[in-house]
C-alpha cells in the first residue's frame, strides 16, 4: 500500500483494502468471525480519526485519537489471526498488517505532538500569568 499523508483518505483506503482482501477469503465459520471483527475495527480507525477533526476540545481530540489507535491495534490483531487461518493469502494480508502498524505509529505520534503542543501553550499561559500578577 503506497504511503498516503492525507490521513482521512489513508484510513479509508486501509478499510477498503481490508474489505477487498476479506471478500476473497474462503467462506467458512472461522473466517466469518474473523472477517466481521477486522472489517469493523479497520473501518473504525478512519471513523474515529475523522471525529478528531471535529473535536470539541482537547479531551475529545485525545479520546478519539486514542480510540483510532486502539482500533488500528485491534485491526493488526485480527489480521494476524486471519493470516494464521489463511496462510496461502500471505501476499495480500502482510501489507495490511504493515499498514495497521504504520497507522498505530501515526496515531501515537499525533497524540504525543498534541500533548507537547498543549503543554507548551499551558507553560506560556502560566508564564504570562506569572508576569502579569507578579
pLDDT per residue as tens digits for the range 84-103? 999 999 999 999 999 999 99
pLDDT of the residue at 132: 60
Residue 63 has pLDDT above 50, yes or no: yes
CA distance 113 to 98: 23
Residue 34: per-residue pLDDT: 98
pLDDT at 4 over 50: no
pLDDT at 56: 85
For the entire predicted model, the pTM comes to 0.84
Q: Write down all domains in the chain, each with its CATH number in brackets.
A: 7-133 (1.20.1440.60)
* Distance of alpha carbon 57 from alpha carbon 63, whole angstroms: 10
Q: In 5-72, where do the E strands start and end?
A: none
What mean pLDDT do residues 57-76 have? 94
CA-CA distance, 85 to 89, in Å (whole number)? 9
Amino acid at each position: 500500500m503506497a504511503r498516503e499523508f492525507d490521513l482521512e483518505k489513508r484510513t479509508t483506503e486501509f478499510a477498503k483494502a481490508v474489505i477487498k482482501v476479506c471478500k476473497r477469503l474462503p467462506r467458512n465459520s472461522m473466517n466469518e468471525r474473523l472477517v466481521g471483527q477486522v472489517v469493523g475495527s479497520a473501518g473504525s480507525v478512519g471513523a474515529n480519526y475523522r471525529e478528531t477533526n471535529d473535536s470539541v476540545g482537547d479531551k475529545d481530540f485525545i479520546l478519539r485519537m486514542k480510540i483510532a489507535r486502539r482500533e488500528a491495534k485491534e485491526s493488526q490483531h485480527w489480521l494476524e489471526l486471519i493470516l494464521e487461518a489463511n496462510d496461502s493469502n500471505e501476499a495480500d494480508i502482510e501489507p495490511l498488517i504493515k499498514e495497521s502498524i504504520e497507522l498505530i505509529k501515526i496515531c501515537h505520534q499525533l497524540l504525543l505532538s498534541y500533548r507537547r503542543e498543549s503543554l507548551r501553550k499551558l507553560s506560556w499561559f502560566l508564564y504570562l500569568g506569572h508576569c502579569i500578577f507578579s
